[in-house]
Structure 1
Amino acid sequence: MNLFAQLDERATKKRVRSVLEQYRTLKRIAKEPFNSQVTAVYSFEPRSYTGGVSKPIEKHIVRQQAAAREIGFIEEGLSHMENPEQRRILYEKYFDWAQKSDISIYMDLDMSETEFYREVEKALFAYAEVYKSGALLQFKNEASFEDWFGELFE
């Protein structure tokens, strides 16, 4: 059985783009400082409408840790890509703070437009394979990677 013949290419690319497009936002969340505000009753612990104490500092720390954990997974996926050219394309497109346009990227890389988009497609699939050991791969009939992987060893 050919595992990748059943790959849903459109859904896989959509999942990869969704993860990569979150990277810059997650970086901002992970580094966001907490600013405590004094409430109208001169307390650092704001009251909710139910009379309980809300925990803004704890919520902030949990949000930062979740963002940092996901950033680690995203960056680990990029570092495990074998092709350095594909890695650079994804870095320029999704990771660099400069947020360059596609035209700027393929001109910097000395590529034609069609060559650039062809390489982006290949890079997205290569990234889907290495991110969390293939977690972004989407197969037809909504089967997961684990479903197909299990069949290989039966």
Structure 2
Amino acid sequence: MMLLFPKIDRKKTKKKVHEVLNAYHSLVRIAGEKQGLKITTTYILEMSQVAYVPLKSAEKIIDRKKLAEIELTKIMNAMNQLDPYDRQLLYDKYMDYQFTTNIAIYMNYHMSESKFYRELDKAMIHFAESYESGVLLIEK
């Protein structure tokens, strides 16, 4: 019988989340989004309304663009399921175009380095739970 809440390998799960979110800027470029996901003052993410214009030169490029758009939608949906604090923290770490350092982020939040990493770890696990109904969760 499968448990609803099995033991999670936090280290491996966070690694998967890092891989997904670290690809964000590449996905934005491949999808042809001008500035990535739009973000509101409450850190709700929305796709910008860029017209999808297929290139006739190669289906491979179209497929890559479409796959990038699908992945961005999955990321957006998962992010929007998080509470605003987790969403803002992950946005600042992985999606902000200023490529801020961890030090700058935790100083901006007025928190210690250790608290920042605890909060980031928690937000990453919550993201893993939200992303496609927990597909990023790695069980022990």
Same fold (TM over 0.5): yes
Judging by fraction of residues, say which structure has more helix: 1
Aligned ranges 1:1-154 → 2 under 5 Å = 3-4=4-5, 6-31=7-32, 56-81=57-82, 83-140=83-140
Residue number in structure 1 paired with 2:49? none
- Give the whole-Å Cα distance in 1 for the aligned partners of 2:27 and 2:9: 27
Shift of 1:68: 0.5
- Give the whole-Å Cα distance in 2 for the aligned partners of 1:27 and 1:19: 13
Shift of 1:4: 4.0
Secondary structure, counterpart of 2:58 in structure 1? helix
Secondary structure, counterpart of 2:110 in structure 1? coil
Q: What's the % identity of the aligned pairs? A: 44
- Give the whole-Å Cα distance in 2 for the aligned partners of 1:4 and 1:115: 25
Shift of 1:109: 1.4
TM-score (norm 2): 0.77
- Give the whole-Å Cα distance in 1 for the aligned partners of 2:120 and 2:5: 19
- Give the whole-Å Cα distance in 2 for the aligned partners of 1:79 and 1:5: 24
- What do you get for the CA RMSD once the two structures are aligned? 1.8
CA, structure 1 residues 5+61, in 2 after alignment: closer, same or farther (shift >3 Å)?
A: closer
Secondary structure, counterpart of 2:21 in structure 1? helix
2:23 partner amino acid: Q
TM-score (norm 1): 0.70
1:114 partner amino acid: S
2:101 partner amino acid: S
Pick which of 95-104 and 56-65 moved more.
56-65
Name which one, 1 or 2, has greater alpha-carbon Rg.
1
Alignment coverage as a number of residue pairs:
117
1:25 partner amino acid: S
* Aligned structure 1 segments of 4 or more residues deviating by more than 6 angstroms: none
- Unaligned ranges ≥5, structure 2: 34-55
Secondary structure, counterpart of 1:10 in structure 2? helix
- Give the whole-Å Cα distance in 1 for the aligned partners of 2:108 and 2:126: 22
